[in-house]
Structure 1
Amino acid sequence: MAVDRWLLKQHELGKHPSTLRFYTWSPPAISLGYHQKKYPEYWQNLSYQGDKLDLVRRPSGGRAVLHQGDLTYAVVTSGIAENRLQAYTKICEFLISGWRSLGVELNYGQAGRGYIHNPNCFGTATGADLVLEDGSKLIGSAQLRRGKAILQHGSIILQSNADLFEQVFGENTLEAVELPENLDQETIINALTDAACDSFNMQLAVEPFSDAQWEEILALANEDINCQNVQS
């Protein structure tokens, strides 16, 4: 997620255009919301298929997310309404439109501030989240603002392991998400990318990072690690 922070910083400085990213996690990890202070101590010693689950802190808020079998999206942009919920609504347009093109209807969650007492992001669905018609949560999103620049990223549940989810969050916390068959990750990314181009009236170009940019990103990641060590 240091890449997301770097993109936000560069966009805020006017050095990088708006960006759309998709990525997955290997090995799996748990990401904590920026302000999330309470979480089970045993999370620091979990493993999955022989790999330790990393415990990382997101630059944005919200509750903990288990990144295993999910797809993460990130949008960095500016010129969006200052009202937080209006900004979510504007950015989420491409998610709703893209999934609709795949035959999946999404709606906004209805939960209130009670989510702050639940360490699990997917345990509740607020107005910033998207749920299926049966109420099960498909996408949890969070934001970070720097001036007029916004980073919004979120987790899209695709093939999470129910046993691992239960090990992390306890019983009955993962609702079964039923998606159309033969929906692979590439198809989903292509549909969401096309929807983003339509929703934001833009064209996207794939641009790999240069060696110099990777050095800046890794330096930013090391700053995060040192900061977390000091705080702990």
Structure 2
Amino acid sequence: MQPKSKWRLIPLLTASGRVQMAIDKWLLSQHQLGLHPPTLRFYTWSPAAISLGYHQSKFPPHWQQLTWNGAPVDLVRRPTGGRAVLHQGDLTYAVVTSGLSGNRTQVYQQLCEFLIQGWQLLGVQLHYGDAGRGYIHNPNCFGTATGADLVLCNGSKLIGSAQLKRCQTILQHGSIRLEPDVELFKQVFGDEAFSPLHLPVVQVEQVIEALTRAASDRFGRQFEVEPLSAAEWEAILAQQLEI
């Protein structure tokens, strides 16, 4: 992968799902226009949310009445494809870049290599999933693992990723399951959907540090840490996505 002259690292950000998706979409459009460098960021969702894939038209009606910690669980539309993801007790990564060669799966795996390397630093071995096209019938992203996803040695899916490509510009973001609330997960996807992870005890900050180190190595650049500016926030909030 040939890096641009500069990569930006946006510090960990907690916000609603609609805001987070608006940020990702804005970063993609700005990079496509040549106005913004390649970017890596990590974020969490507050309140808890279920993100739907861009083309996902069906989901259980009860998802619209879910609550967690006294607040409604948001339903949010992603700009990327794939199945539904519950964002609670997880960490999301997003990469915006361009100029990658290969087919869709090859591009996924070029971008996922830093996730494998980063978790290796934390003592966790990951490999790619191997589910076939049957995954499209499962509303739960974490119910199956395709070649774009990363699973533990016991087969449990740790990271589910989705991608949007515009010309040569790519947004890839994904959810990393860390400490999901078991009861909420079962309310969303059913009792049979939950599989334990058995991860070592790690803090979010440790995960971000390891993944950032690995990304710097894989992409061949040191990151410049730069929070979103007031002007950027104004532009982003003006285009928040609606489900």
> What's the TM-score once normalised by structure 2's chain length?
0.90
Moved more, 208-217 or 94-103: 208-217
The answer to whether structure 1 residue 100 and structure 2 residue 120 are counterparts is yes
Percentage identity across aligned positions?
Answer: 65
In 2, the alpha carbon distance for the partners of 1:216 and 1:4 equals: 12
Q: Which has the higher strand share?
A: 2
Q: Cα RMSD (Å) of the superposition?
A: 0.8
Point out where structure 1 has 5 or more consecutive residues left out of the alignment.
none
Shift of 1:184: 0.7
Shift of 1:82: 4.2
In 1, the alpha carbon distance for the partners of 2:102 and 2:228 equals: 30
Q: 2:137 aligns to what? A: 117
Structure 1 runs of 4+ aligned residues shifted over 3 Å read none
- What are the within-5 Å matches in structure 2 for residues 86-165 of structure 1? 86-165=106-185
Q: 1:200 aligns to what? A: 219
Q: 2:61 aligns to what? A: 41
The amino acid of 1:67's aligned partner reads H
Which of 31, 40, 44 does residue 24 from structure 1 map onto? 44
SS at match of 1:142: strand
SS at match of 2:208: helix
Shift of 1:39: 0.3
In 2, the alpha carbon distance for the partners of 1:210 and 1:105 equals: 37
In 1, the alpha carbon distance for the partners of 2:26 and 2:203 equals: 29
Which of 196, 199, 219 does residue 238 from structure 2 map onto? 219
The amino acid of 1:218's aligned partner reads L
The amino acid of 2:216's aligned partner reads C
Point out where structure 2 has 5 or more consecutive residues left out of the alignment.
1-20
**Paired residues, number:** 223
The amino acid of 1:207's aligned partner reads E
SS at match of 1:205: strand
- What are the within-5 Å matches in structure 2 for residues 38-77 of structure 1? 38-77=58-97
Shift of 1:196: 0.1
> What's the TM-score once normalised by structure 1's chain length?
0.95
The amino acid of 2:40's aligned partner reads L
Shift of 1:171: 1.3
SS at match of 1:177: coil
SS at match of 1:125: coil
Deviation digits for residues 109-152 of structure 1 (CA, Å, limit 9, x no counterpart): 01011011000000000000000011100000000011100000
Moved more, 8-17 or 203-212: 203-212
The amino acid of 1:85's aligned partner reads T
Deviation digits for residues 35-89 of structure 1 (CA, Å, limit 9, x no counterpart): 0001011111110111000100001000000000000000000111241001011
Q: 2:12 aligns to what? A: none
